[in-house]
Amino acid sequence: MDDTLSGYAYGDPSLPPSPVTIEDLARLKQAVGLDDEDMAALRRAGRILSPRADVVVDSWRQAVAAVPHLLAAYASAEGVIDDRYRVRVRERFKRWIDDLCFRPWDQPWLDYQHEIGARHTHLAKNKADAAAAVGHIPLRYLIAFTAVVNDRVKPFLVESGAAAEEVEAMHRAWCKAALLSVTLWTRPYVADSAW
């Protein structure tokens, strides 16, 4: 495996299983309104976004870099950014596009979504990268940043030259799927009974 993808643990049998079940996932898909047509449109969106993952992820990260309290996730409490950590997260962020659009949403997928969530919290932040950074990303920023992710995906779909209606279908599917994924990432933040 490419060293820049170290820490990418999809399918790693040593990952703790997600407490979220396949049945929970089916209910969550209903809650965001993801149907079979959306899942097909998500795949088509992935075929546009995946080859451009570098620029797509850069567009998200430019938004992070512009906001000090978001950029702080990559820095020590003293504000020193861990550049190696940032690069590694960037490569994994690219892979998230593929995982979201192309992988089967099965137990290994759920397990890795849970791991990604835990890596935003005291439970596992910095561990996979031995990073010198703060130990926690506030839940509110995790959720809120989904708006930026979704907003900034749109131009790439438009630039693909797809018809307006198809751009809408792909973006609609993307927005639902991305929020579902981020919702799974919130699982480690809260008590079992609250989630």
Instruction: State which of residues 9, 148, 162, 166 lies at the interface with a copy of itself (CB under 8 A).
Output: 148
Q: Which candidate, 115, 8, 94, places its Cα nearest to that of 49?
A: 94
Q: Does 161 bind a copy of itself (CB under 8 A)?
A: no
Residue span binding a copy of itself (CB under 8 A) among the ranges 2-10, 42-50, 61-69, 96-104: 61-69
Q: Does 134 bind a copy of itself (CB under 8 A)?
A: no
CB 48 within 8 A of CB 170: yes
Q: Does 163 bind a copy of itself (CB under 8 A)?
A: no
Residue span binding a copy of itself (CB under 8 A) among the ranges 91-99, 105-113, 125-133, 141-149: 141-149
Q: Does 36 bind a copy of itself (CB under 8 A)?
A: no
Q: Does 183 bind a copy of itself (CB under 8 A)?
A: yes
Distances (CA, A) of 59 to 97, 107, 141, 144: 13, 30, 17, 16
Rounded CA gap, 189 and 195, in Å? 9
Structure tokens at 130: 């031995």
CB 104 within 8 A of CB 176: no
Structure tokens at 69: 């309290």
Q: Under the rule (CB under 8 A), what is the footprint of a copy of itself?
A: 27-28, 30-33, 63, 67, 69-70, 121, 136, 138-141, 143-148, 150-151, 164, 172, 175-176, 179-180, 182-184, 186-187, 189-190, 193-195
